[in-house]
Amino acid sequence: MRRRILLTILLVTAGAVIAFFVPATLAVRSRVQRTDLLELQREASSVATRVSEGRPDLDALAGVIERSHALALYDASGRRIGGEGPEAADAVVVAALAGESAEGSIGGELVASAPVRSGVAGPLAVRVSEPGAASAARVRRDVLELAAAAVAVLAIAALVGALLARRLSRPIERLRRWAVTIGRDDAGPPPAPTGIGEIDELGAALADAGARIRELLRRERSFSSHVSHQLRTPVAAMRVAIEAELAVPRPDRTEVLTESLRALDRLESTIESMLALARHDERTPAWCDVGELVRDSAERWRPSYAAAGRDMTIDVPVQPAELDTAAVGHILDVLFENALIHGRGPVGVLVRRSNGAIEIDVGDQGPSDAAADPFSDGRVDASHGIGLRLARTLAESEGGQLRLLEVAPTVFRLSLPLPAPT
């Protein structure tokens, strides 16, 4: 990233320097040439003034001009009468003989001329010239100064680009190193804010994603351990029954088969519940009557309670709410099954709305151990289905909670948040 930022800044700066350097070079060349021609014109005019005041003395007039410049005098016929220059008058000298000062570049030289207004022997013209190499040398010197300034600009741009790339890349590199650890137990806190809005927003998004990933991993580990326990329990029951039958055969050999079938039913129910829970990745809450949902679930369990000589008391008024009916149905099945296996006496069900949430209480007359956690991973769960631990996990995935409200008698409460009214 640093290299790309630095390269981009250098390319943009180089493009700007080139776009400025080319016309600047042409302007420098024009300025130097114009300055030299004006200097030659000034010298030619100065010499012409001195010639008009008396008889021309070229040796004395040579001191008026630069030593590198050449001086020549021309008569009215265009013939050189002294000094250094072409024998015949050129275009610049012809213009001076016509009474006009002139300048230009002729034969690789810069030339300026001036007319002598009152000559002793008629009209005269003064010609002052400079080698083109001298003017080109000054142009090269000024262009080199421009080039040095361009190099300095590129160096400054490189320095600024390096500092900017470092300032931008360092927080991103820190963010990248931290993002690699997201989901691991040794992940540290997210990097401190940098003051760069986009990077800070990215850091906040990654931090939020990291928190969700850690929660998902925690739930996945918990889910895996619960599934392992739930699947091992019926398998262990079948193994114990078969090994006991092999060790001490009973007169009725079908008893072990009946016990194995019950264990297989339990294993099948566990697997179906696990698959049902695993398929709850994408859930869309829907409006429903929670009272009707609870009554339907209770009626499915009523025959089992009747066979055990127990009754069900249901107090579920109409309670419209928006929730995931499949998830609530799984949790209710666990509570009813847990009460059937571990509880005593009639089972009571109560549904009410409280503090922006739907609360469903399922209780029986059997006491619970106040010192034991019914949701503990180490609890031996003899029930079918996904068990209390997985039911709590499913409730938490819906944003609610499942907890043991009372221990004598036993009452479990399922609380599910309701969406804010629109």
Q: Give the span between the Cα atoms of 246 and 277, in whole angstroms.
A: 37
The CA distance from 414 to 361, in Å, is 6
Q: Count each helix (H run) and each strand (E run) in the chain, helices first.
A: 9, 12
Q: Report how far apart, in Å, the C-alpha atoms of 210 and of each of 196, 198, 300 are.
A: 21, 18, 42
Within 10 Å of residue 23's Cβ, how many Cβ atoms? 9
Q: Measured between alpha carbons, how far is 340 from 363 in angstroms, rounded to an integer?
A: 10
| pLDDT tens for each residue of 57-93 | 777 777 788 888 888 888 888 888 888 889 998 999 9
Residues 89 and 102: beta-carbon distance below 8 Å: no
Q: Could you write out the DSSP letters of every residue in 129-196?
A: EEEHHHHHHHHHHHHHHHHHHHHHHHHHHHHHHHHHHHHHHHHHHHHHHHHHTTTSTT--PPPPP-S-
Supply the pLDDT for residue 376.
67
Question: What pLDDT, in 10s, does the model give residues 172-211?
Answer: 777 777 777 776 666 677 777 777 777 778 778 877 877 7
pLDDT band for 230, please (50, 70, 90 cuts). low
Q: What are the tens digits of pLDDT across the range 365-385?
A: 888 776 677 776 555 444 444
Residues 80, 73: contact at Cβ < 8 Å?
yes
pLDDT tens digit sequence for 324-356: 787 788 888 889 888 888 888 899 999 988 888
Q: State the amino acid at position 158 in one-letter form.
A: A
The residue among 292 and 179 whose pLDDT is bigger is 292
Q: For residues 271-275, give the mean pLDDT.
A: 65
Greater confidence, 361 or 249? 361
Confidence band of 323 (pLDDT split at 50, 70, 90): confident
What domains can you pick out in the chain, each with its CATH number? 2-147 (3.30.450.20), 195-279 (1.10.287.130), 283-417 (3.30.565.10)
Q: What is the pTM of this model?
A: 0.43
Provide the residue type at 318 as one letter: V
**CA-to-CA dists, residue 161 to 5, 15, 165, angstroms:** 7, 15, 6
